[in-house]
Amino acid sequence: MSLQDIPLFAALTERMKWLSTRQKVLSQNIANSDTPGYSARDLKPQKFKDMVARPDATTLNLSKTQGNHIQVDSKQEFKTQKVRDTYEVTPTGNAVVLEEQMMLLTDTQIQYQMTTSLYKKHLSMLKTALGRQ
């Protein structure tokens, strides 16, 4: 049995692959910041809903197991928030804003560090459970 057979490790590995690919795309955007007619590119966002692949992932059923629980609706919908697109275009037709690309690159790096940290912590926890240090 490999670590990829464990869903948590498979999801973390998939996330790290996506973040590595995104870093390459953002680096290409930065490298082409002076190329006439070049438009910034980005990957399609990874959705947690797709990763867990549950058929009814948009609704959450809540149940009241004790009398002193707070009463809530039986179903709560998760809603997505629309992000407003803002960009600038230079007279040469280049639509890469270096500040935005650097912020996205930094955010990607932070997410990658967090994902690798989670991977290491869960691996350490698994070793501890097996009696190995």
| Domain-located, residue 77 | no
- How many Cα atoms occupy the beta-carbon half-sphere of 81 within 13 Å? 2
CA pair distance 25, 42, nearest whole angstrom:
6
Question: Within a domain: residue 25?
Answer: yes
pLDDT value at position 49? 67
Has residue 102 been placed in a domain? yes
pLDDT per position in the chain (133 positions), as tens? 788 788 888 889 999 999 999 999 999 989 998 888 888 888 888 876 666 664 444 455 556 677 776 665 545 444 444 444 555 677 777 878 888 899 999 999 999 999 999 999 999 998 999 887 6
Name the residue range of residue 94's domain. Answer: 3-34+42-60+86-129
pLDDT at 68: 72
> What pLDDT score does 78 carry?
44
Q: How many domains does the chain have?
A: 1
List CB contacts of 61: < 8 A, sequence separation 6 or more.
Answer: 74, 75
* Residue 56, pLDDT score: 46
pLDDT confidence of residue 106: 96
pLDDT at 76: 45
Asked whether residue 79 is domain-assigned, the answer is: no
- Residue 101 to residue 111: CA distance in whole angstroms: 15
